[in-house]
A and B are shown apart, each in its own frame.
Chain A
Amino acid sequence: MIELVRELAGTYGPSGREDEIRGVIRKKISGKVDELYTDTLGNLIAVKKGNGKRIMLAAHMDEIGVVATYIEENGFIRFSNIGGVSPVFSLGQRVRFANGVCGCVCYEEKLKEPKDLNFSKMFIDIGTNSRERTMEYVSPGDIAVFEAGTIEQNGRYISKALDDRIGCAVLIELIGQLNEVKNEIAFVFTVQEEVGLRGAGTAAYAIKPDLAVAVDVTNTGDTPGCNPLSIELGKGAAVMIKDGRTISHPLVKNKLIDLAKRFDIQYQLEVIEKGGNDAGSIHTTAGGIPSGGVSIPCRYMHSPCEMVDAGDVNNVVKLLKAFIQSED
């Protein structure tokens, strides 16, 4: 699993420009599913045909990033955010553009108050001296992703982009484990989740599943001085009760909890005030699609050192497998 996670997390794929990560995922699952295609916005849809219900699982391929907006005369690059990027977390980080050029994120030194830190006072330095030189590598509109390695330590994965490459890894693992399926399963690797859950709804519109489950990371409440939240690393797959966009449909939620109890899969319950995942746009699609979520608890989301527990990841795979194979 760590190798898969490392490869996925390290592949370039910011919101709206997911071609490369889609290619990598495609290679991993091609031949193991009955149908495999890309839709208009770039969602990758893999179907294992079966009778019974049509179930959609969604994990998003896109990661947060930064977009070059303006090249200064002396070669520095001004930028804006793609998705929820924190100015504080991005300071001092390395970023990488699609063509491999790297830069570092810096700020205008004269800035005194940390609370005044925002993107218009920051810039990326790729080591050039002039606009012309920079433009040989980077143009306005080019998007960079954050750069950080992936390691496994103490049974935990530490990496950038576990949001939501770990979800993608879970789906890939599931596809690998399944031979016969009882229901028809659409594994959807969605696009543009980080900028507003944009891909999932359009995929769901075409697929029209009976049930949908979003597979994404979720925050924990187990670090020093954090906001109270009952989810902890290592305490199991998080079954979503509600987040900022969706109140999970009882059909999905109760079924997941039932199965977790029946098969003795370690689980915990997720109640979040803000933030949403792909279920948010899926459940209001067409005439309403009963949706829920199974989440991988993750510390330090949207930072270069997101952390998940390998045991939790396994439990997520187990729970989802039980769900998609369930015949009632």
Chain B
Amino acid sequence: MRTDTLLEQLCKINAIAGFEASASNEIKEIFGRYCDKVWVDTFYNVIGYKKGSSKNGKKIMITAHYDQIGLIVTGYEKNGFLRVSNLGGVDTKALLAREVTVHGEKDVFGVIGAKPPHLLSGDEMKKNVKLTDLFIDTGLPDEELIETVAVGDPVSINSQFVRMVNGCAAGRNLDNRCGVAACVLALEKLKNIEHENDVYVIATVQEEAGLIGAISSSYNIEPDIAVVIDVCHGDMPEADKASTFTLGKGVPVGVGPAFNKNVTQQLLKLADQEGIPTQLCVEAGDPGTEAWAIQVSGMGIAVVEVCIPLRYMHTGAELVNLEDVDTAAALVSKFAAGRTVRLSKEDADDTDTD
């Protein structure tokens, strides 16, 4: 399947953190094309399973969260306005003058306006606006608004998926539909190669709201090894060079206390052997991704992380290079399939005759 078409389809889906129920079916349908079994659990994590060919294979779990950040209705104001709070880490800087969809009894179009510049003081214009200062303008009469939209209804931020030069694409929800796309592409590849390991690919929920899906699914699956696919910060001129990664220059792989050193080394070695370029993404502690929760699930799980560089995270103008999605998928599929996965030295002595 073409990466851009797949990603476009995925980004259209609305799966706001905590409200993924309706989206889970579409993800299930996509996963189902490439898996032996696929199911949706109580929290709407979508789990695809591909059986491995060997009895001695490991249990590998690949996760990518499919929830997106959004807003939630907290109250009404006269004349068709709604007050909101956040679901996930919304940057209010990127909310002014945006179009949104309020998901009530039916979808309602809305606009987040702003006080006109003529009425703003010099000081006001210098400060960032707070969420409590924003309103959604639905243009509906109050009685109809109250019938259609309830407190607690989720709101998604509208944005188009746009193909750009250089193989790039921009839009909303690229965090983390890129990861989900990489999962789908990896599954597609795995369908055509023999793999020893049992592979579970999970589109997880509520990463943006506390890594909830990762916590529950890693407890339930109890994998030997987990691979997290998430976005990381792409290169942006004003940002710290240590925390950003060049688009199209290789897959950033996580290194640091959160990631299993041994398995990460194997992943890097495999990438080298397969001619897949990598970059090192150094994290001093909590990487802010599902890896942090998975690592301490149960009696501990060996985690590695593979990232896709993304610029302007959590705005409606997220930008990636599609080649990075492909490279991540290639690396993950080879890793999941390969015999090179060993947890310990003893393990190595058993199965490896090199």
Contacts and interface: CB of A to CB of B under 8 A. Distances in A.
* A touches B in complex, CB < 8 A: yes
Interface in A283-302: 283-284, 286-288, 290
A155 interface: no
A250 B217 CA distance: 18
B37 to A, nearest CB: 18
A271 interface: yes
Interface string B216-237: 1101100000000000000000
Interface string A236-255: 00000110010111110000
The A contact surface, by secondary structure, is loop
Task: Count chain B CB atoms within 10 A of each CB in A230, A242, A249, A251 and give the residue with the most.
Answer: A242
B151 A241 contact: yes
Interface stretch (B25-33, B71-79, B278-286): B71-79
B84 to A, nearest CB: 9
B219 A286 contact: yes
B75 A287 contact: no
Given A249-B43, A250-B21, A228 B74 contact: yes
Nearest to A221: B75
A227 interface: yes
A178 interface: no
B18 A242 contact: yes
Contact of B151 (A245, A248, A271): A271
Interface string A101-119: 0000000000000000000
A229 interface: yes
B150 interface: yes
Task: Count chain A CB atoms within 10 A of each CB in B87, B150, B210 and give the residue with the most.
Answer: B210
A273 interface: yes
B83 interface: yes
Given A271-B152, A273-B86, A229 B17 contact: no
B215 interface: yes
Nearest to A284: B215
Nearest to A288: B216
A269 interface: yes
Interface string A246-277: 01111100000000000000001111010000
Q: When A and B form their complex, which 3 residue pairs have the shortest distance between CB atoms, in order from nearest?
A: A288-B216, A247-B18, A241-B152
Given A229-B74, A247-B206, A251-B42, 11 more contacts: A230-B75, A242-B18, A249-B43, A250-B21, A271-B74, A271-B152, A286-B219, A288-B212, A288-B215, A288-B220, A290-B43
23 contacts: A228-B74, A228-B83, A228-B132, A229-B74, A230-B151, A241-B72, A242-B152, A245-B210, A247-B18, A247-B19, A247-B206, A250-B21, A269-B151, A270-B152, A271-B73, A271-B74, A273-B86, A284-B212, A287-B220, A288-B42, A288-B43, A288-B215, A288-B219
